[in-house]
């Protein structure tokens, strides 16, 4: 018979072996079990009904994928707007691993008609004259690009221009390649006042215009004939932040309307813009936008806007004629030509006078950068460009590349 010692030894070995097997099993389970979704991966579905399919796709492409399941006519929403969504707003979804099925609007159902389909009107050339400087409404001839809405917005569209063979056609191809690198996250309009012609890409995509609106607002109040010598107090309540003091002056300083306009455009001063909006108001701006057939309207608590490259070009086209004709046009041009941030169009076109206003808006996962400008030379022209991007470095090179191609083509055509 085995001794008690030997029996205890065998039992101990068995216990150790079983323990090792149990520990190995637990380790294998922990190692091979499926990873559970972390709390950060679960998001709440936003309400995207009524918004443009392309806008939602651009803003939420890192969160979920859109899939169009159908198109329907809609009297309520414009073409391309989202009519329904699954999952619905408020429901949970897994970030980066969810497909949202949507129906989109085909626009209002067309009425039956026997009228022939007509092409957009061809813009007649604008006579090159030197109008008398006036203090009132300026002459601003309509252009084809203001009313033309190409069916394929992600193509380069040329209106009313004769592109030269050879290098001219090559530039159009290079411009298209440059734009297509950014897809729907870029928009551009070039306008030539001497011919009324234009070039556009994705011109109706809406972007955050940021500080570009400061120049447009200044144009509206300058055109309304405000008293540039009127003084306004910089109060603590009107500071955009405690660090944003106009010209570094202390709270309580009085500034003339002209000084505030210069600060808002030249230095893109947010407090100066806020003071103008607060003291002078937005009636002149709203009437100005309405006169151009544009939808932007300021309210008591809204003086920033999203705009397309087309809408921005319409404003800057008007600013061009304003600088040529109005008594306050010289001030407008001087401010734009001396804006302090010069890393976009102006840094590429060093031999030209570039009257520009940039706009920048950082958001959670991306930023929007834009520039609206009048490029002065033998024959001035208007250029507006927007781009959405990611990262900490702003893609100003895109603006320089665009400006160089457009300027070369402009010189070839003129």
Q: What is the CATH number of the domain that holds 170?
A: 3.40.710.10
pTM: 0.69
Query: Do 54 and 152 sit in the same domain of this protein?
Result: no
Closest CA to 309 of 185, 141, 177: 185
Query: Do 180 and 268 sit in the same domain of this protein?
Result: yes
Angle between helices 167-180 and 396-413 (to 10 degrees): 160
Pull the structure tokens for residue 196. Answer: 């009324």
CATH code for position 61:
3.30.10.20
Q: Does residue 120 belong to any structural domain of this protein?
A: no
Confirm if 52 and 59 have CB atoms less than 8 A apart.
Answer: no
Q: Does residue 12 belong to any structural domain of this protein?
A: no
Query: Do 171 and 241 sit in the same domain of this protein?
Result: yes
Angle between helices 212-223 and 283-291 (to 10 degrees): 90
Query: Do 67 and 205 sit in the same domain of this protein?
Result: no
Confirm if 189 and 159 have CB atoms less than 8 A apart.
Answer: no
CB atoms within 10 A of CB 100: 20
**Residue 105 dihedral angles phi and psi, to the nearest 5°:** -80, 140
d(CA 367, CA 266): 22
Domain housing 51: 39-105
Domain count, the chain: 2
Q: Does residue 394 belong to any structural domain of this protein?
A: yes
- Which domain-ending residue is among 105, 134, 153? 105
d(CA 312, CA 188): 10
Query: Do 152 and 223 sit in the same domain of this protein?
Result: yes
Q: Tens of pLDDT along the chain (414 residues)?
A: 445 656 666 766 766 666 667 776 666 665 655 544 445 588 888 888 888 887 787 777 778 888 998 888 887 777 888 889 999 888 888 888 899 998 988 888 776 555 454 555 555 554 544 557 998 899 999 999 998 887 666 899 999 999 999 999 999 999 999 999 999 999 999 999 999 999 999 999 999 999 999 999 999 999 999 999 999 999 999 999 888 999 999 999 999 999 999 999 999 999 999 999 999 999 999 999 999 999 999 999 889 999 999 999 999 999 999 999 999 999 999 999 999 999 999 999 999 999 999 999 998 889 999 999 999 999 999 999 999 999 888 999 999 999 999 999 999 999
């Amino acid at each position: 018979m085995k001794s008690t010692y030997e029996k205890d030894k065998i039992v101990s070995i068995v216990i150790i072996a079983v323990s090792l097997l149990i520990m190995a099993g637990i380790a294998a389970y922990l190692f091979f079990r499926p990873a559970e979704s972390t709390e950060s991966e679960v998001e709440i579905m936003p309400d995207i009904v009524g918004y443009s399919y392309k806008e939602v796709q651009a803003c939420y492409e890192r969160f979920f994928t859109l899939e169009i399941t159908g198109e329907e006519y809609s009297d309520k929403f414009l073409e391309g707007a989202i009519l329904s969504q699954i999952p619905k707003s408020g429901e949970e979804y897994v970030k980066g691993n969810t497909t949202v099925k949507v129906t989109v609007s085909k626009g209002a159902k067309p009425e039956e008609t026997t009228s022939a389909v007509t092409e957009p009107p061809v813009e007649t050339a604008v006579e090159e004259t030197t109008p008398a400087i006036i203090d009132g409404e300026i002459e601003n001839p309509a252009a084809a690009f203001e009313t033309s809405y190409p069916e394929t917005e992600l193509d380069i569209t040329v209106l009313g221009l004769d592109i030269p063979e050879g290098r001219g056609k090559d530039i159009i191809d290079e411009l298209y390649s440059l734009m297509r690198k950014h897809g729907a996250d870029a928009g551009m309009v070039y306008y030539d006042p001497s011919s009324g012609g234009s070039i556009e890409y994705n011109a109706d995509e809406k972007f955050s215009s940021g500080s570009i609106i400061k120049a447009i607002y200044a144009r509206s109040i300058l055109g309304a004939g405000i008293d540039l010598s009127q003084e306004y107090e910089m109060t603590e309540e009107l500071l955009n932040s405690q660090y944003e003091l106009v010209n570094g002056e202390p709270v309580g300083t009085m500034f003339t309307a002209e000084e505030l306009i210069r600060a808002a455009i030249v230095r893109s001063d947010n407090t100066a813009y806020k003071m103008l909006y607060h003291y002078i108001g937005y009636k002149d701006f709203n009437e100005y936008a309405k006169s151009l057939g544009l939808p932007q309207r300021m309210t008591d608590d809204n003086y920033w806007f999203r705009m397309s490259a087309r809408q921005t070009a319409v404003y800057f086209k008007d600013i061009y004629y304003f600088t040529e004709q109005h008594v306050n046009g010289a001030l407008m041009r001087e401010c734009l030509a001396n804006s302090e941030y010069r890393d976009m169009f102006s840094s590429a076109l060093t031999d030209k006078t570039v009257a520009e206003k940039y706009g920048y808006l950082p958001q959670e996962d991306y930023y929007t950068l834009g520039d609206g400008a009048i490029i002065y030379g033998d024959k001035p022209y208007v250029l507006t460009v927007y781009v959405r991007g990611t990262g900490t470095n702003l893609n100003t090179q895109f603006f320089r590349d665009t400006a160089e191609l457009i300027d070369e083509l402009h010189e070839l055509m003129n």
